[in-house]
C-alpha cells in the first residue's frame, strides 16, 4: 500500500489570539444620535438624548456602555457622545457609545495630591468653575481655593467664587484676598436670595466644587428643586463635613443651563500643571520672567519678578497672588 502524503488540509491549527484580520476601516456610524453624559456609574453612562427643536424638543434618558472600539478612552460627565443601538430609552435597554466628540474644556486634578503627574479627568465641556466655600463652619481654606483657581486657569474655565454662610461671618476679608485676581464672586446665606447666583449660571454649564460641609448640596437642592442631593452636618470635632455627593452628576436648571455637582473634596492635586500654565494667567507678570534664571520657581530671591514689580510694571498684590498660587500648586500647607 502506497504511503499517504499529508498536506495542510490534514493539519488542524487553532487560531491564536489576535489572529483575526485587522483593518483600519471603522464604521462611520452615520446614523448615531447625539447624547449628553449626565452621570457615570461603574461602566454605565446615563445620557440625555434630545429630539426635535424649539417647543417640540423632547428629551429622554438612555443608558449606554462604551464600545470596544474606543479602547481606554475615558468618558466623563459633560461629554458629548455619539450613540448607536437601542436609543429608545426603554427600561432594560442598553445603547453603545461609539464616539466622544471633541471637548471644549476638561477639568482635571491629580489624585490624592501625589507627584505622579497622572491626570484624573473630572468634567468635560464646562464653561464655569464655581468654587463653593463657607465663610464659617467650616472656616475658609484659602489654599484649597487657590488650587481650584489654578485648575480653572489650566482648563481655561472661568472661575466664580460662591461664598456661603455669610450670616455667620463677614466676607470682606476673603473677598479682599482675591480682589487682585479679579475673580468674580457672589455671597449667599441660608434662606437668602439666589438670584445673583442664578444670573451667573443661566444658559451655561457650571461645575460646582468645594470641600465637604460648605453647603454645596444645599445650594443644588434650591437651584434644582427635584435634585434631592443628600446633605450633612459639619463634624464638631474635626470641623469638616462628611462626603454626601458620591459621584458627579449633571442637573438641568429650570431657567436653562446645567450645573454639575461633584463629590466634596479634601484635596485637589495639581501635579500635572506646569509653572508656565499658571504664569499664562498673569500676562502682566509673564513678560517680567524673561530675566529669571533657568528653571526659576518664582518663589526665591533670584526671581526677576521682584525687580519687575519694583519698577512699576505690575501691582505687588498680583505678584503675591501668583506666588500664593504657585505655593499651593507645590502642595504648601494650608493656612
Which residues contact residue 229 at a Cβ distance below 8 angstroms, ignoring those fewer than 6 apart?
Answer: 217, 220, 221, 244, 245, 261
Per-residue DSSP letters for 123-151? EES-SEEEEEEESSSSPP-HHHHHHHHHH
Instruction: State yes or no: pLDDT of 223 exceeds 80.
Output: yes
Q: What is the pLDDT of residue 195?
A: 95
How far is residue 245's CA from residue 262's CA, in Å, rounded to a whole number?
Answer: 7
What is the pLDDT, as a whole number, of residue 232? 47
The proportion of the chain whose per-residue pLDDT surpasses 70, expressed as a percent, equals 81
79-113 confidence digits (pLDDT tens): 999 999 999 999 999 999 999 999 999 998 876 55
Strand-pairing partners, residue 48, are 36, 61
As beta bridge partners, residue 258 has 205, 252
Cα–Cα dist 211/139, whole Å:
11
Model pLDDT for residues 21-78, shown as the tens digit of each residue = 565 667 778 889 999 999 999 899 999 999 877 777 789 999 999 998 888 888 999 9
Is pTM beyond 0.75 here?
yes
Residue 102 CA to residue 52 CA, distance in Å, equals 23
At 215, give phi and psi (nearest 5°): 95, 20
- What digits encode the pLDDT tens for the residues 174-219? 999 999 989 999 999 988 999 999 999 999 999 999 888 898 988 9
Phi-psi category of residue 233: left, alpha or beta, with phi > 0 → left and psi -120 to 50 → alpha: beta
Instruction: Say how many C-beta atoms besides its own lie within 10 A of residue 100's C-beta.
Output: 18
Per-residue pLDDT tens over the stretch 66-78: 998 888 888 999 9
Amino acid at each position: 500500500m502506497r504511503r499517504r502524503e499529508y498536506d495542510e488540509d490534514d493539519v488542524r491549527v487553532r487560531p491564536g489570539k489576535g489572529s483575526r484580520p485587522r483593518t483600519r476601516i471603522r464604521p462611520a456610524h452615520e446614523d448615531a444620535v447625539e447624547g449628553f453624559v449626565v452621570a457615570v456609574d461603574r461602566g454605565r453612562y446615563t445620557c440625555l438624548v434630545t429630539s426635535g427643536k424649539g417647543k417640540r424638543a423632547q428629551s429622554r434618558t438612555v443608558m449606554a456602555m462604551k464600545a470596544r472600539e474606543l479602547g481606554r478612552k475615558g468618558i466623563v460627565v459633560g461629554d458629548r457622545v455619539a450613540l448607536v443601538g437601542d436609543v429608545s430609552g426603554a427600561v432594560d435597554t442598553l445603547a453603545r457609545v461609539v464616539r466622544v466628540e471633541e471637548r471644549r474644556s476638561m477639568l482635571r486634578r491629580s489624585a490624592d495630591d501625589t507627584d505622579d503627574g497622572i491626570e484624573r479627568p473630572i468634567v468635560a465641556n464646562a464653561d464655569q468653575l464655581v468654587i463653593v466655600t463657607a465663610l464659617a463652619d467650616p472656616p475658609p481654606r484659602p489654599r484649597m481655593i487657590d488650587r481650584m483657581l489654578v485648575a480653572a486657569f489650566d482648563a481655561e474655565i472661568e472661575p466664580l467664587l460662591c461664598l456661603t454662610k455669610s450670616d455667620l461671618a463677614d466676607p470682606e476679608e476673603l473677598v479682599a484676598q482675591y480682589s487682585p485676581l479679579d475673580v468674580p464672586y457672589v455671597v449667599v446665606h441660608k434662606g437668602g436670595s439666589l438670584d445673583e447666583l442664578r444670573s451667573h449660571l443661566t444658559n451655561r454649564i457650571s461645575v460646582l466644587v468645594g470641600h465637604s460641609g460648605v453647603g454645596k448640596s444645599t445650594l443644588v437642592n434650591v437651584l434644582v428643586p427635584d435634585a434631592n442631593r443628600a446633605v450633612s452636618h459639619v463634624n464638631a470635632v474635626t470641623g469638616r463635613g462628611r462626603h454626601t455627593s458620591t459621584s458627579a452628576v449633571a442637573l438641568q436648571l429650570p431657567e436653562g443651563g446645567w450645573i454639575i455637582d461633584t463629590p466634596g473634596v479634601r484635596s485637589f492635586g495639581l501635579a500635572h500643571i506646569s509653572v508656565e500654565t499658571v504664569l499664562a494667567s498673569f500676562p502682566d507678570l509673564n513678560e517680567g520672567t524673561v530675566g529669571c534664571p533657568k528653571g526659576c520657581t518664582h518663589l526665591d530671591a533670584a526671581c526677576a519678578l521682584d525687580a519687575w514689580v519694583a519698577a512699576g510694571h505690575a501691582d505687588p498684590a498680583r505678584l503675591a497672588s501668583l506666588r500664593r498660587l504657585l505655593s499651593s500648586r507645590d502642595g504648601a500647607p494650608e493656612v
